[in-house]
Amino acid sequence: MNDLLVMARIADRRCAFRADHVQSVIELGSITPIPCAPDFVAGITALRSQALTVIDCRQAIGVDRVELKSDHRAVVVSVEGYSYALVVDAIEDVTTGLEQTDDVAGGYGEMWARIASGMVETPTGPALLIDLSALIAGPDEFGIAV
């Protein structure tokens, strides 16, 4: 496991996205809200001529609604042909993953386990590797209350 990883903080936890899943990191402009969409969908925003669905990762994971700051940057990923902008607390760095463990003793906790595809060691410490499709599916489908 020597993949490049994009490191971010979500709900004050260190998380990692595989760099080859990440199209770019953007500065979020104005977001058009979508009435009647799930809560964790913040809206849509434009990236060049693309329309991105903006997902608030904190709410998508199901973290309690505490006021969490964001540095107004988002990770752009593509899942099954659709592009999403993921809002995180902060984007930290791009680094090399050293070693991936699929399971850790004691697990990550119910909320995190749903969106985790494992734990990854990096030069700056361990991080949770995010399973994108699970993240984007949102908490509702798994019956976890937001």
Residue closest to 115 by CA, chosen among 97, 135, 98, 96: 135
Applying CB under 8 A, the span of 26-34, 64-72, 102-110, 113-121 interacting with another protein comes to 26-34
Sorted by sequence, the CB contacts under 8 Å of residue 106 that are 6+ apart come out as none
Least distance from another protein to the Cβ atom of residue 50, Å: 7
Applying CB under 8 A, the span of 14-22, 65-73, 86-94, 134-142 interacting with another protein comes to 134-142
Distances (CA, A) of 124 to 94, 108, 134: 11, 19, 26
Which of 34, 104, 113, 144 is the binder for another protein (CB under 8 A)?
A: 34
Place of tokens 């004050």: 12
**Where do contacts with another protein occur on this chain (CB under 8 A)?**
30, 32-38, 41, 44-46, 48-51, 53, 80, 82, 84, 136-138
